[in-house]
Amino acid sequence: MGTPVDIIVGSHVWVADLNLAWIDGQVVKINGQDAEVQISNGKKVVAKLSKLYPKDMEAPPAGVDDMTKLSYLHEPGVLQNLKTRYELNEIYTYTGNILIAINPFQRLPHLYDSHMMQQYKGAPFGDLSPHVFAIADVAYRAMINEQKSNSILVSGESGAGKTETTKMLMRYLAFLGGRSSTEGRTVEQQVLEEFQKYKLGNPKKFHYLNQSNCYDLVGVSNAHDYLATRRAMDIVGISEKEQEAIFRVVAAILHLGNVDFAKGKEVDSSVLKDDKSKFHLKTVSELLMCDPKALEDALMKRVMITPEEVINRTLDPLNATVSRDGLAKTIYSRLFDWLVDKINVSIGQDPNSKSLIGVLDIYGFESFKHNSFEQFCINFTNEKLQQHFNQHVFKMEQEEYTKEEIDWSYIEFVDNQDVLDLIEKKPGGVIALLDEACMFPKSTAETFTSKLYQTYKNHRRLPKPKMSRTDFIISHYAGEVQYQSDQFLDKNKDYVVPEHQDLLSASKCTFVAGLFPPVPEETTKTSNKSSKFSSIGSRFKLQLQQLMETLSSTEPHYIRCVKPNNLLKPAIFENINIMQQLRCGGVLEAIRISCAGYPTRRAFFEFLNRFGLLAPELIERNYDEKVVCQKILDKVGLKGFQIGKTKVFLRAGQMAELDARRAVVLSTAANAIQRRIRTHYARKSFIALRKATIDLQSLCRRILALRLYEHKRKEAAALKIQKNLRRYQARKTFEKLRVSVLVLQTSLRAMAAQKEYSYRRQTKAAIIIQVRWHCHKAFSYYKKLKKAAIITQSRWRGRIGRRELRKLKMAARETGALKEAKDKLEKRVEELTWRLQLEKRLRTDLEEAKAQEISKLQSSLQSMQTKIDEANALVVKEREAAKKAIEEAPPVIKETQVFVEDTKKVDSLREEVEGLKASLQREKERADESERIRAQLQELSEQQRKRLEDSDKMIQQLQDSLHRLEERCSNLESENQVFRQQAVSMAPNKFLSGRSKSILQRGSESAHFGDARLPLDLHSLSINHRDFSELEERPQKSLNEKQQENQELLIGCISQHLGFAGNRPIAACIIYKCLLHWRSFEVERTSIFDRIIQVLGHAIEKTQDNNDILAYWLSNASTLLLLLQRTLKANGAAGMAPQRRRSSSTLYGRMTQSFRGTPQGVSLAFVNGGMTGGSDSLRQVEAKYPALLFKQQLTAYVEKIYGMIRDNLKKEISPLLGLCIQAPRTSRASLVKGSSRSMANSAAQQALIAHWQGIAKSLRNFLRTLKANHVPPFLIRKVFTQIFSFINVQLFNSLLLRRECCSFSNGEYVKAGLSELKNWCCDATDEYAGSAWDELKHIRQAIRFLVVHQKPKKTLDEISHELCPVLSIQQLYRISTMYWDDKYGTHSVSPEVVGSMRVLMTEDSNNAVSNSFLLDDDSSIPFSVDDISKSMEQTIDISDIEPPALIRENSGFSFLLPRAD
């Protein structure tokens, strides 16, 4: 492993350190076989060259997941790799097929959730990151596929996480078997009650629990684990009573450990130490249900039976303590055996099974300050397992070499058989000598040890200690262990103290007594009340031998658990402690075996990526990769390497030599680059100086030109200022003159306009008054005339109505015209109701009109009075103005004419005012007359209101009669339904007997009769039952038989592929027209809905994988559902019919909530002559329960078909997605073969994205199928949105679980593939693709991170907010630590950014959801019925749908034919 010849000045190496095991440094000086090293802490040390190990400076910053991939496979390299990964919370690492698990001492729930188990299910070993699930999956697949038994060996010292690892193994195997448990409820109170019941408390107070000083672990809840254990006991069949007894026994053991002893008054006697010990002793007796005094005697006394007498011997405190511990161990051992037997019986393993998976959880190698018989047995077991492990590792190495077809015959394999012979050899082994010593009563630990060293005097595995006579040392594979044999003889004796046996056999607790059944009489007589000896060591050796035989018959898998620190705290990595565990766990031994052969193995493409620059001329040529690797190694001059089929195998030290050659080449290239760079900088400086000179000259010339230009600009500015000043003065003079003229003109014109305005204002006021008066006069005459016409019409229509009523009474007695009369009566009732409302409205309008007219007249009067006052004021003002003008005017002016004219005007105005007053008086008189007439009309209206109330009562009575008639029809229909079912069961050949047909006729007739409207007389209050009996007995032609035939014809028609009319599915339109015409939505019972659902279900069940058929039915079902959504509305009665719709957790219950908000006022373009009145718009229908149930079932089938189509596409693209996440390795090798093969590389790139093109092709074909079947674009968008979300989840999760995918070149490969999907989205347009491209946000941003340059310069804020805003801190941390640049050799983000991410993750560690860095696939239905309805705002014109040929000629479907117009 040492490579002194390859270490030169400047080499980075590992140096041994007492505190850190190994520390890195750089060689600064070499003196012979010594080297001076500058270590990382700043100090300088001198070490032997043979003790230095090269450091890989190009190792990935996140380490490697398999340590066989390390360039330098040695102790410091292994330790550094484990430390690097542990700091990144990567607790699992492979060494070949051995899994190393480092206990994180914190919960990492995202590593063990069901989604993670799903990822590892069936994944090839090594494709995903190291995990305990991968080991379990390999074992399970080998058992299933090869019918071969497997075993998983989990080892490690206490606190390394063996139990948790074993639980995860069992959980994953249960997951593969289809079982998974769920937990969860508040438990603290229940656990506290259990504590009080068993008188337990803080674990620090119990001797058997406080030895390790570890009571709590971060993220581990003992309360939840306790209840989980109770639930597990329920599952395996342990009754409540047995559970109670189990925990009582465990609590008794804990209390028993707190019983202490002190010296008694007599010699070699003991008593209970204090009141605390007495309390615990009493508690033990209560829990075990035994006598307290007998328990005390069993602990402190022994009975010896001799032929002469029975002797009671007391025990000293030390022996009493040994007796106490022996009783606790015996009880615990019996309880453990009982639990194992109970669980084995509960599991019920098939004895005929040919293969199995065994999980072995065992302590690792132990070496303490005081090592007793327990450590001896544990280390003996680990020695055996290490031999098995070495053989397995050596076998794996052989298989690897054989697979690669290389020579490995000279590789040596060191075995530890000599240690095993020393321990288990018979006779003479340690165990045999121990058994022999136990057979002699006078044997002691000293005699046993001396006999051992006499037997093995010069054994190299058994050195002798210098200071002790009872100790012995064994050199195990993991190091020397000194055992203290003081208690070896006692612990090797397997016997039950008779006093303990008698005490517990007599327990009142049947469970405890069952653990200690009575000893047979023969055994009792033979033992003579003495302890019967049985060697634990021999029995342990026999069990171990059986275990090894079982392991030898299985395929082993190894998991080595490591405890990173003795403080049991997270984020602490103790190098020396871990190195010792790796050595004890055999990991370093496995590395030593690998180093004995070819520790460095590189695939051809990796070797060329790293060392291709040693022979660039070979890369340029078109050589095979294997040939190029051979030529490079030959050129370098290495010996002893091997070229396999796919890998290069290098001996220890050869990798360092190649790296040294590579460093020389890189140094030469760096010098050349520096030389070129210096030349570039010198030329750049010269060019800059020349440019500066030219710029200086240009600047001087520019300043001179600027001065000349400034002089000319000032001269021109002076001329312009003079010109503008003169122009301003001239314009100012002109403006003053113009303003004066305008003021004079304005004054004169204002006086003339004032006079003209006054005259026009007076004239307009007079005209308005005249207009209002003429309007009032004409409107009064019109109202009188209209009122008279209405009264005349009402009287005449009343007379005609009474005449028609008498005719209807006569016609009602004829049963043949019953239905026609009902329709006429309904129309008559509606007409009378309308007339009543019309009269009420006219009366109200008349009163409102009168009130308005009066208010108008009053307002007119007030306005006229106001105008008169204004006119008087105006006359006064004019008189005063005239007087003033006369006084001021010269005498030559004649003023008489103006005064006379003003006087005439005033007189005329006065006359007009008097006339208006007279008119106002007349209007008041006329208003009084109108009030009197209004009172008369009001009295007449009151009489008409009373008559209308009588009519309302008659109408209400008539409606009550109609309701009673409909209830009777409903009862008849229920009876007919029963008869129809009986008839169908009696006639399975679908041909009904005459009586059955009669029953069906009557049922159908009654059903339609219940929906009709009966024409009854307005004055009749009820319909007597004699008329109905006559109606039922009259023979008539039934419509139900014909309708049944039509339904059969419709079902047969829609079972065929009817195609589309434009973009409308014919089948859906035909079904909707028929159901609407037959009024199936309004009946209480019908079978047509169930028949349609059966056709739909049968069609999709037969063709679950045929997307074309599924798309056809999805189009029909969604269109029909849309029509129903816009037509049906639920009434109160329909909502109360069934009780099974109350639950919203079911599919139908969930969809019912969406049916309650039916859009109002929706109009369908349904032009059909067969509809009522041939209306072009369809009103909403009050749907009964069967129609609403049909709508719910149709909704469920739309969701089901949608899910089937989506899942079919997922199945189709899933195999391609597995190939799309990682670029083929051949492409990476081709990247280093130079630019001479650019054309070949271009063709190769086209071949590389073939998988992505396959996905795009599948999407195109799928879209073509959906468009051909006219599936609504809304559903198409939803499908592709979920498909792209599925692609995002699969690619992103695979990226995070496989480190080889987090590389630069792989990012470019996936980016090129994503561009294919983007092109597809552009081709599909937003109408069908929608927001599908946005669903790839996680994988797009992850790929953007992989291909971005200068990652070390990016800050955390830039990464999390600009580069990858969608990704969580956990996801960013995972990608950042797994990234490696296989193309340019650049690094990931800076350590500061990684540290900041780790801090944020620690702060958010309590959130289990945020800790998970994987995405979940959403397989829910992402839409509701309302969403479909809102997405299709346009109406569906089904008026011109041509019926199929099968029903076109049938007269019963004539309503389907489009109208001629």
Q: Which amino acid is at 30?
A: I
Q: Which residues contact 1193 (CB under 8 A, 6 or more apart)?
A: 1089, 1093, 1148
What does the CA dihedral 297, 301, 305, 310 come to, rounded to 10 degrees?
-70
564 C-beta neighbours (distance < 10 Å), count? 27
Q: Which residues contact 165 (CB under 8 A, 6 or more apart)?
A: 101, 132, 154, 361, 559, 561
d(CA 289, CA 1369): 57
Low-confidence ranges of the chain (pLDDT < 50): 1-5, 180-187, 522-532, 891-901, 978, 981-1037, 1132-1178, 1226-1240, 1408-1410, 1461
Q: Say what the pLDDT of residue 1189 is.
A: 87
d(CA 486, CA 696): 100
Smallest CA-to-CA distance from 1091 within 1111, 1110, 1071 is with 1071
Q: Which residues contact 514 (CB under 8 A, 6 or more apart)?
A: 338
What does the CA dihedral 54, 60, 62, 68 come to, rounded to 10 degrees?
-60
Pairing of strands 1181-1183, 98-102: unpaired
Cα 1249-1253-1259 angle, rounded to 5 deg: 150
The answer to whether 117 and 134 have CB atoms below 8 angstroms apart is: no
Joined together, the tokens standing for residue 1416 give: 């979940």
Residue with tokens 């149709």: 1194
Burial of 739 (0-12, 13-18, 19+ CB in 10 A): exposed
- H or E stretch including 603? strand 600-603
Mapped onto helix, strand or coil, the DSSP state of residue 937 is: helix
| Predicted structure pTM score | 0.58
Smallest CA-to-CA distance from 368 within 531, 525, 562, 584 is with 584
d(CA 443, CA 466): 22
> How would DSSP label each residue in 183-207?
-----HHHHHHHHHHHT---GGG-T
Smallest CA-to-CA distance from 485 within 475, 473, 470, 469 is with 470
The answer to whether 406 and 651 have CB atoms below 8 angstroms apart is: no
d(CA 641, CA 651): 6
Mapped onto helix, strand or coil, the DSSP state of residue 130 is: coil
Residue with tokens 């400047």: 10
- H or E stretch including 1070? helix 1066-1077
The answer to whether 900 and 907 have CB atoms below 8 angstroms apart is: no
- In tens, the pLDDT along 763-773 reads 999 899 999 99
Whether the upstream peptide bond of residue 427 has omega within 30° of 0, thus cis, is: yes
The answer to whether 1192 and 1344 have CB atoms below 8 angstroms apart is: no
d(CA 246, CA 241): 9
d(CA 1192, CA 681): 79
Q: Say what the pLDDT of residue 1029 is.
A: 41
d(CA 1100, CA 1201): 8
Residue 818: HSE in the Cβ half-sphere, 13 Å Cα cutoff:
15
Residue with tokens 């347009």: 1325
d(CA 426, CA 537): 13
What does the CA dihedral 322, 324, 327, 329 come to, rounded to 10 degrees?
-70
> How would DSSP label each residue in 65-111?
SBGGG-SS-SHHHHHHHHHHHHHTT--EEEETTEEEEE--SS--GGG
**Average of per-residue pLDDT values in the chain:** 78
d(CA 810, CA 808): 5
Task: Note the Cα 438 to chain centre separation in Å.
Answer: 65
Dihedral sign (CA 1318, 1322, 1326, 1327): negative
Whether the upstream peptide bond of residue 1186 has omega within 30° of 0, thus cis, is: no
d(CA 1395, CA 1416): 27
Q: Say what the pLDDT of residue 704 is.
A: 93
Cα 1134-1136-1139 angle, rounded to 5 deg: 120
Joined together, the tokens standing for residue 709 give: 């230009």
Q: Which amino acid is at 452?
A: L
Task: Note the Cα 633 to chain centre separation in Å.
Answer: 52
Joined together, the tokens standing for residue 1126 give: 């816009």
Q: Which residues contact 742 (CB under 8 A, 6 or more apart)?
A: none
Q: Which residues contact 494 (CB under 8 A, 6 or more apart)?
A: 533, 534, 535, 536, 539
Q: Say what the pLDDT of residue 675 is.
A: 93
d(CA 26, CA 15): 10
CA-CA distances (angstroms) from residue 441 to 13, 437, 1025? 60, 8, 115
- In tens, the pLDDT along 1023-1073 reads 344 443 443 443 334 556 777 778 888 888 888 888 888 888 888 888 888
- H or E stretch including 312? strand 310-314
Q: Say what the pLDDT of residue 890 is.
A: 53
d(CA 832, CA 535): 113
Q: Say what the pLDDT of residue 700 is.
A: 94
The β-bridge partners of 311 are 304
Pairing of strands 479-484, 555-562: unpaired
The β-bridge partners of 559 are 99, 154
The answer to whether 633 and 626 have CB atoms below 8 angstroms apart is: no
Q: Where are the alpha helices (DSSP H) in 428-556?
A: 430-439, 445-455, 488-492, 498-505, 510-515, 521-527, 536-552
The answer to whether 136 and 96 have CB atoms below 8 angstroms apart is: no
d(CA 117, CA 111): 9
